[in-house]
Structure 1
């Protein structure tokens, strides 16, 4: 960021919240710890409210501290947006785009987005924050990100959906797995096979637990993780299966490293993937290009994967 419009006290509060202590923030920013501590205490005195809980090990933001962190992020985002708009007024391509997205996009769509920007628009800087859908919706509403892409995004009043597409749930396995030859399957048929699974705190697993709690009660995963990369590594070994959305393994399905067998269970509601912006704020040209790429490229990737693993209804 070329502009320095974010007040230093806000930057310091944000850094302490991120790094967990004044000393850690000092090392990250290259600013004396005494200066950071002095600015935070001055803010606390002016607002007559503590911004942090001083714990035995480190510091944790209070509700007031969290509000200041949101303000700092919004101020930073507005500063970057201003820089981008001024560059566009001068006829220059560049600026910054902040995107909130899911971990399942990290080794596919987001890598392709980075590669495309570097090749076609090298002056555009991209910041990607990986977070849960509810957090992505909140960050978009707060103005700290410009574009959000996630499953089943909570609908807020000022959201504008650029694109939304239905995904499929299925069983993801390696080519040599016993379930690999089926055109379709069901939870009953997967019952008894060794499973890996997303952690119970993640949205896809929560949905499946709420609708089909019996399945995981009878089939405790041999590996549960919030890392899709770890789960897909386990799947490639060939002896386990995973119930999830096709989006979670799009690159591997397209390359034939993993197979997607659609589930036919009645009442299994397909998740929705959306690209969303905030309708209250003008979108920079850079953010518009990023959002348009996300839509077109995700549609292309889904079409490629479905050509490899068509729905039973398409046969």
Structure 2
């Protein structure tokens, strides 16, 4: 059941697909019906919402502002319908999190476990997706919060916290680099490397750094997941890069010994890697349900200090007590 007006529903789908015909197929309605609703919406507001191109449509600046409003309305109406159907009222105790693999390895699951120790009635859905998809899901209200890595400004989401995460080489214990505190990018590239696939933020920055330094690299392994890269390193195949909160907490700032992963971490010193941030993101202007709001605050608290111990959830109301909403201005 939709509480959002039909015209806004059609507007959202055209904005998402960039095409009236594709929107019509998705919504199972006639293209002419969508065209009429879009025209009516533009006429009523008094400004064009789309720029028409031969191969599609893109939102105007005014359309972008309406899009943000429509996304908030759609997300909040969906939450309201769920509350009315389930009888849970305003105190919705389910949280959907979209995050990149690096956050999903340790930081987010540990935070979820800590939160549920205090509030066992809260349930979570964790979707592990690439960085652009995590941001998109929050911007469109599919996820309550995103924990991801980004490069450059983010315009479609509210950035609750952003920190630069160092990048390290992961080497097997006993490797000649294992006792080093830092190495240069050129030193790193002198060894067989396991790298992420093109399109990941870390790989993009690595490629930029290599180009700036005039280095030639032929990776020994290219893989879009971290677990095989760790096994490759442990098995003596070479060394790899990692720049994720949980991994570096376990090894790069420790006593120089191997981490629980059976590897050692050595910082890679190059300014190009400072362009990559770890971010906690939410939808601009959306009033999150209580559980999602409090869990977001917990994730935010983990970024600056990167504590090594399992995080402790903050004191929060138990089930049956009133919600503690956070406003967009906090």
Q: For 1:115-154, what aligned pairs fall within 5 Å after superposition?
A: 115-152=113-150
In structure 1, the residue corresponding to 2:105 is in which secondary structure?
coil
| 1:260 matched to 2:265 | yes
Contact 1:167 1:270 in 2 (8 A): no
| 1:87 matched to 2:88 | yes
| 190-199 or 252-261: bigger deviation | 252-261
In structure 1, the residue corresponding to 2:265 is in which secondary structure?
strand
Residues 222 and 274 of structure 1, relative CA distance in 2, 3 Å threshold: same
Contact 2:205 2:272 in 1 (8 A): no
| 173-182 or 243-252: bigger deviation | 243-252
What's the TM-score, normalizing by structure 1? Answer: 0.65
Question: How many residues end up aligned between the 2 structures?
Answer: 251
Question: 2:293 matched to which residue of 1?
Answer: 288
Shift of 1:159: 2.9
In structure 2, the residue corresponding to 1:269 is in which secondary structure?
helix
CA distance in 1, matches of 2:217, 2:148: 27
Higher share of residues assigned helix: 1
Residues 215 and 84 of structure 1, relative CA distance in 2, 3 Å threshold: farther
CA distance in 1, matches of 2:214, 2:196: 11
In structure 2, the residue corresponding to 1:192 is in which secondary structure?
coil
Question: 2:227 matched to which residue of 1?
Answer: 229
In structure 2, the residue corresponding to 1:123 is in which secondary structure?
coil
Contact 2:93 2:290 in 1 (8 A): no
> Pairwise CA RMSD of aligned residues?
3.8
CA deviations on 1:153-193 (whole Å, 9 max, x unpaired) are: 66444532221111112212222222111111011212321
CA distance in 1, matches of 2:116, 2:246: 24
CA deviations on 1:52-107 (whole Å, 9 max, x unpaired) are: xxxxxxxxxxx99xxxxxx99x9677424654596354xxx553212121011222
Question: 2:110 matched to which residue of 1?
Answer: 112
CA deviations on 1:289-312 (whole Å, 9 max, x unpaired) are: 211221223445x3549xxxxxxx
In structure 2, the residue corresponding to 1:128 is in which secondary structure?
strand
| 1:206 matched to 2:204 | yes
Shift of 1:250: 3.7
Shift of 1:125: 2.1
CA distance in 2, matches of 1:77, 1:225: 38
CA distance in 2, matches of 1:229, 1:98: 24
What's the TM-score, normalizing by structure 2? Answer: 0.63
Question: 1:24 matched to which residue of 2?
Answer: none
Among candidates 198, 217, 242, match of residue 240 of structure 2: 242
In structure 2, the residue corresponding to 1:161 is in which secondary structure?
strand
Question: 2:320 matched to which residue of 1?
Answer: none
In structure 1, the residue corresponding to 2:279 is in which secondary structure?
strand
Question: 2:276 matched to which residue of 1?
Answer: 271
CA distance in 1, matches of 2:89, 2:138: 22
Question: 2:167 matched to which residue of 1?
Answer: 169
Residues 161 and 213 of structure 1, relative CA distance in 2, 3 Å threshold: same
In structure 2, the residue corresponding to 1:185 is in which secondary structure?
strand
Contact 2:180 2:266 in 1 (8 A): yes
CA distance in 1, matches of 2:245, 2:213: 22
- Unaligned 5+ segments in structure 1 are 11-39, 50-62, 65-70, 306-315
Contact 2:250 2:308 in 1 (8 A): no
Contact 1:80 1:95 in 2 (8 A): no
